[in-house]
A and B are shown apart, each in its own frame.
Chain A
Amino acid sequence: MMAAEEGLRVLVVEDDRRLRDTLVDALEMDGHAVRACDDGEEALEALRAETPPHVILLDLVMPRAAVDGFELIRRLGEYPADVRDIPLVVFSGLGRALVDAIEPRTAAALNIVCVLAKPLDLAELRGVTRAVGRRRAGLRAG
């Protein structure tokens, strides 16, 4: 039971500083160790150099980023399996257009475990992150 609630390493990739800070605060309050990046390029560098996170929370639309969320997903495919297969929670302000675009089969292939619409419901996001932790604990126990 304890294992299900243990903190995760979470990588947050979000270009909006205020939202990023809010996410970091909320996730840290839940006991997670959070690494925050404002750009996909910085995230890729972190994934190369640091211990891989258990989950990546990724904003897809980051117009000023050198590497946006779409490109980050593409680049992840070039990484070894321990990084490539990290679960992704993706979000954007595109609403239903994005939710409808990501079908179950493609989501599974890209390890997208959840698609959220902005403005983000913080409780939902925290719940999704906890669910990733429980799933991980379940896999380890199994």
Chain B
Amino acid sequence: MRLLIAGRQPLFLDGLEALLRRVLPDAALTRSADDNDAVRKARAHAPEVAILDLDPPTREGLGLVSRVDQVAPACRAVLFLAQADEDTIFAAVRLGVRGVLLKSEAPATIVECVRQVHAGGYWLQRQTTTAALRAMVRREAGQRQLARAGLNARELEITQLAGQGVQNVAIGARLRISPATVKIHLHQIYRKLGLSGRIALMGYAREHHLVPPR
């Protein structure tokens, strides 16, 4: 098994390297302490699994996944995170990441994850992944129902803002239209959705997952 481990925290890399060398003595392990070096080594060694410490999980850090994929297309990425939030997991899934490990995991779990990903499987934080995917799907479903009701792009924007309780003056300022125009749009929205007014719209937006949960 060819492995690449990369991260910016030497102590963490030391521990991970020691663990992997002990449990997987036959693995060819390459180590890297910065992103550019990780990409170079991925190109040179064609690792089968890359374990990337992304703490904190920045956009740049997630970009490393794509960079490694470009130079080593057969490599499967596993991310190490301090905690798994829905946005990061969703972004990771879309990048084709195969495994997500938390820094709090037991060593045996880490090894099991590496073996499973190497064998072609996934090792994701199941609950968070499901929650992230569900949030995305619900949001799209809500948007689609609005489109079916015949709302245009401007009305969709206003529905989302008014649905969160934003007042007409603030909506107007944000969209660069007058509060009176906002009011006209709102009446069109109420008519198209069959709603009685603003309170009903806020309930509709919550029910259809058009606004972030409080």
Interface residues of A (CB under 8 A from B): 61, 63-64, 68, 70, 73-74, 77-78, 81, 84, 93-98, 100-103, 105-106, 109-110
Q: Are A101 and B94 in contact (CB under 8 A)?
A: no
Which B residue's beta carbon lies closest to that of A15?
A: B96
Which residues of B, 133-179, contact A by the 8 Å Cβ criterion? 133-134, 136-138, 140-145, 147-148
Among A63, A74, A98, A106, the residue within 8 A (CB) of B66 is A63
Q: Are B94 and A70 in contact (CB under 8 A)?
A: yes
Please measure, in the bound complex, the distance between the C-alpha atom of A74 and the C-alpha atom of B96, giving whole angstroms.
19
Q: Are B94 and A109 in contact (CB under 8 A)?
A: no
Please measure, in the bound complex, the distance between the C-alpha atom of A79 and the C-alpha atom of B138, giving whole angstroms.
19
Q: Are A61 and B94 in contact (CB under 8 A)?
A: yes
**B190 touches A (CB below 8 Å):** no
Q: Are B96 and A61 in contact (CB under 8 A)?
A: yes
What's the least CB distance linking A45 to chain B, in Å?
21
Among B124, B132, B140, the residue within 8 A (CB) of A73 is B140
What's the least CB distance linking B128 to chain A, in Å?
9
Q: Are A63 and B96 in contact (CB under 8 A)?
A: yes
What's the least CB distance linking A48 to chain B, in Å?
17
Interface residues of B (CB under 8 A from A): 66, 69, 93-96, 122, 124, 126, 129-134, 136-138, 140-145, 147-148
> What residues on A are CB-neighbors of B93 within 8 Å?
61, 94
A84-B144, A106-B138, A106-B140 are known; give 6 further A-B pairs, CB within 8 A.
A63-B94, A77-B140, A77-B144, A84-B147, A101-B133, A110-B137
> What residues on A are CB-neighbors of B136 within 8 Å?
70
Among A61, A102, A110, the residue within 8 A (CB) of B144 is A110
Which B residue's beta carbon lies closest to that of A63?
A: B96
Please measure, in the bound complex, the distance between the C-alpha atom of A64 and the C-alpha atom of B124, giving whole angstroms.
20
Given contacts A94-B93, A101-B134, contact A109 B144 (CB under 8 A): yes
Please measure, in the bound complex, the distance between the C-alpha atom of A46 and the C-alpha atom of B133, giving whole angstroms.
27
> What residues on B are CB-neighbors of A64 within 8 Å?
69, 96
Which B residue's beta carbon lies closest to that of A108?
A: B141
Given contacts A102-B137, A110-B141, contact A94 B94 (CB under 8 A): no
Q: Are A97 and B124 in contact (CB under 8 A)?
A: yes
What are 30 A-B pairs with beta-carbon distances under 8 A?
Answer: A61-B94, A63-B66, A63-B95, A78-B147, A81-B148, A84-B144, A84-B148, A93-B122, A94-B93, A94-B122, A94-B124, A95-B122, A96-B130, A97-B124, A98-B133, A101-B129, A101-B130, A101-B131, A101-B132, A101-B137, A102-B137, A105-B141, A106-B137, A109-B141, A109-B142, A109-B144, A109-B145, A110-B140, A110-B141, A110-B144
What's the least CB distance linking A71 to chain B, in Å?
9
What's the least CB distance linking B64 to chain A, in Å?
13
Please measure, in the bound complex, the distance between the C-alpha atom of A73 and the C-alpha atom of B147, giving whole angstroms.
13
Please measure, in the bound complex, the distance between the C-alpha atom of A95 and the C-alpha atom of B133, giving whole angstroms.
12
Please measure, in the bound complex, the distance between the C-alpha atom of A103 and the C-alpha atom of B132, giving whole angstroms.
13
> What residues on A are CB-neighbors of B126 within 8 Å?
96-97
What's the least CB distance linking B116 to chain A, in Å?
12
Please measure, in the bound complex, the distance between the C-alpha atom of A31 and the C-alpha atom of B93, giving whole angstroms.
34
